[in-house]
Amino acid sequence: MPMKRPLLKSKFSLRHYSLSSENVLKTGGILKQTRTFLDFDIAEYSKLTHDSNPLHSDLKCAKQAGFTEIPLSPEMLVASLFPRIIACHFPWAVYVKQELNFRSPVFIGDKVVGEVEAKNIRQIKEFCLVKFVTTCFKDGEIVVIGSEAMAMLPTLSIKKT
């Protein structure tokens, strides 16, 4: 059964938080983005990736899998918050590695906060290699993704968004 809800535009906001008063990323510095994934986002994601998993559109299938709310947001769509947060604050950043541990489902309409925290920073020639702890929360405290990422940054100066 296809989704019967109207397609809505995505809502998101971007905010950053850093432990540095100079607007420079340091170990422990945190950058965040809040986003609510809606029907429109799931439909566009499905078109782009050709991911037609019925858990994201078929109520009967989702209920058989044990989910009572429908539809589910694709996990990789939610995880896409991490590179977006990094790229918004550090243009020309190169994503090197991402580990993902999906812990809880995200449903359409859930408010999700993506957070990247600088865990380790190493200067290597003309760039910085930064290891981030990457986490997504819903409802303010439920961890939906807990993971780590690594990115090469051309600078530690945080671009204001």
Residue 32: CATH number of its domain: 3.10.129.10
What pLDDT is attached to residue 62? 80
How far apart, in whole angstroms, are the C-alpha atoms of residue 76 and residue 15? 21
Is the residue at 144 inside a domain?
A: yes
Q: pLDDT class for 161, splitting at 50, 70, 90?
A: low
Does the residue 121 lie in any domain?
A: yes
According to the model, what pLDDT value does residue 8 have?
37
Residue 3 falls inside a structural domain: no
Tens-place pLDDT, residues 27-72: 999 999 999 999 899 889 999 999 888 888 777 888 888 887 667 8
Query: How much is the pLDDT for 112?
Result: 97
pLDDT at 52: 85
The pLDDT, as a whole number, for residue 72 is: 85
Q: Tell me, yes or no, whether 63 lies in a domain.
A: yes
pLDDT of residue 4: 38
Q: Tell me if 111 is assigned to some domain.
A: yes
The domain in which residue 139 lies consists of 11-153
Domains identified in the chain, total number? 1
Are the C-beta atoms of residues 121 and 156 closer than 8 Å to each other?
yes
Q: Are 135 and 147 in contact (CB under 8 A)?
A: yes
Q: Is residue 1 part of a domain?
A: no
Is 46 within a domain? Answer: yes
Q: How many CB atoms lie within 10 A of CB 54?
A: 15
Residue 101 pLDDT exceeds 60 = yes
pLDDT at 16 over 50: no
Please report, for residues 13, 73, 101, the alpha-carbon distance to residue 108 in angstroms, rounded to integers and kept in the order given: 17, 6, 20
Determine, yes or no, domain membership for 87. yes
Q: Please tell me the total number of residues recorded for the chain in this structure.
A: 161
In terms of Cα–Cα distance, which of 6, 20, 11 is closest to 109?
A: 11
